[in-house]
Amino acid sequence: MSDQSTESSPSLSASSSPSSAPSPELSKLDLGADISEEDKQEALRLKAEANKAFTSQNFKEAATLYTASIEKNPNEPTVWCNRAYARMKLEEYGYALADATQAIKLDPKYAKAYYRRATCYMQVMKPQSAVADFKKILALEPQNDTVRMQMVSTQKLILEGEKDPVVRCREIIEEGGCDIDPSYNGPKLPSENGKFHVSLEFIQDMIKWFKEGKTLAKRYAWEIVIGAYEQFIKEESLVNVDIPEGVTCDVIGDVHGQFYDVLHLFSLTGPPSEKNYLLMNGDLVDRGSWSIEVILLAFAYKWLYPKYMYINRGNHEAKDMNRTYGFEGEAKHKHGEQAYKLFAHVFTCLPLATLVSATKPPATKDNSILSPEGRRRFFVVHGGLFSKDGVTLEDIRKIDRVGRQPGQEGLMCELLWTDPQEFPGRGPSKRGVGIAFGPDVTKRWCDLNGVTGVIRSHEVRQNGYEIEHDGLCTTVFSAPNYVDQSGNKGAFIRIDSTGDRKYTQFEASPHPPMKPMAYVQGGLGSLMM
């Protein structure tokens, strides 16, 4: 295993964009034209090459080859459906939805295309449309119990409303409904005068317990989540973190339930402390099958060190994503229905962004955009910037987030879902939610708010990070070999009191033989992998 560090460089591009080519405009394809036999054969050859690339998990290359096949023969629905699947692997659900829709137009009885489209609708938070497609599949395949289960699960999602489970969990504890089983012999939270508190020794014992494949007592899990909740609820939607002299702050990207990689990551950063703060930038859960272990560890540190441990919300700290990508099933399996409801509510209390500010002037003069006080400062957010100019830090600070899901539009949605694009201006999101924003958008926003740069996560980068938009936008991703198949490195960014940045990369760590998304409900696990 090799870990390496590199100094920051505004011109450094650590990886190419993960996006596949945009969907070709249908108007440019003559769907009614006669296709020569030669073009049909070439289209089949390209499809076979694309299938090989897909099997090798090179999804970007597969999407490109499927595109070439479509250009030779746009009338073959299976190629459109296959490209939709490749784009789903790239998390480009907006593009995938359009491809699946075209496959359905070409073959209205193509059940797999309806399945692909239903899954995309779920990812772009349109569960009603997903249910309509599930019903169409069942009309074609009445015995498909997997789809029937998923339809019922999605209908339940539509009917559910937000409640405050923190109050209910406290009531259950008071009623004696969550006492610790006398046979439990794992780590125990210390208590004083009948009230639990957390200690570093408990966290260390909890890590050992988790590494043995064991589950924490439900009562202790509840206490950790509620303990963290009591800290999050005190924080605004935009948190200010100042870095004093002699202190550093490590910004960590998506970790997605990869507990053994998180342990290695924390061995590199060190635990949160008065000399080194940690900021986890969303998407702690889903995909990986140790999301409970990851989130309980992060929340325990937040409870113990509220001024040294910070956690932003990601687009996966949301109920619709948790249902699809495994956290709901894992939470219910390990700690029960009420625990999942507790997590789901506390996720809504996570701050939406953090402003990390240096307290000393830059060590060397450059063209950095500085705060009004002449200091570097960084806007750390899971997704990115906005569909309109003029959004201020104060606008973000005032967002009413508690008890709310991101939705499909508005500032909260865009903070959690948007992505940078190479070209100026704004464009449609490849994901089907949020937008894509160009370097000119980033420059205007940073100038308006006196921000040195945007640090965001939300996308795999093969080298763990990428500096974009003339140095004003940096993506950091901290889940190496994402879902056991991407082969990428992880990284984190260390910021010091002058605003200098250092990038550390790390490789994936071995883990027990459990597949990603092992707890996905409703039979979607293999599809979403």
Q: Which residues are catalytic?
A: 316
Quote the distance between the C-alpha of residue 524 and its chain's center: 18
Q: How far apart are CA 15 and CA 488, in angstroms?
A: 10
Q: How far apart are CA 259 and CA 207, in angstroms?
A: 10
Q: How far apart are CA 423 and CA 339, in angstroms?
A: 44
DSSP, res 254:
B
237 near 351, Cβ under 8 Å?
Answer: yes
501 near 493, Cβ under 8 Å?
Answer: yes
Q: Name residues whose C-beta falls within 8 Å of residue 101's C-beta, 6 or more positions apart in sequence.
A: 117
283 near 457, Cβ under 8 Å?
Answer: yes
Secondary structure class of 319 (helix, strand, coil): helix
237 near 379, Cβ under 8 Å?
Answer: no
| Burial class (CB within 10 angstroms; exposed 0-12, middle 13-18, buried 19+) of 219 | buried
Q: How far apart are CA 75 and CA 102, in angstroms?
A: 9
Q: Which two tokens stand for residue 448?
A: 């308006």
Output 357-362 pairs: Cβ under 8 A, ≥24 positions apart. 357/240, 357/241, 357/242, 357/243, 358/243, 358/495, 358/496, 358/497, 358/498, 358/499, 359/242, 359/243, 359/244, 359/245, 359/497, 360/245, 360/497, 360/498, 361/498, 362/498, 362/499, 362/500
Q: Name residues whose C-beta falls within 8 Å of residue 236's C-beta, 6 or more positions apart in sequence.
A: 351, 397
Q: How far apart are CA 265 and CA 259, in angstroms?
A: 10
136 near 129, Cβ under 8 Å?
Answer: no
The dihedral through the CA atoms of 199, 201, 207, 212 has a sign that is negative
| Burial class (CB within 10 angstroms; exposed 0-12, middle 13-18, buried 19+) of 318 | buried
Q: How far apart are CA 478 and CA 476, in angstroms?
A: 7
Extended strands (E) in 34-168: none
Q: How far apart are CA 355 and CA 446, in angstroms?
A: 12
Torsion of CA 415, 417, 423, 424, to 10 degrees: -30
What Cα–Cα distance (Å) separates residue 359 from each residue in 91, 244, 494, 495, 496?
Answer: 38, 6, 15, 11, 9
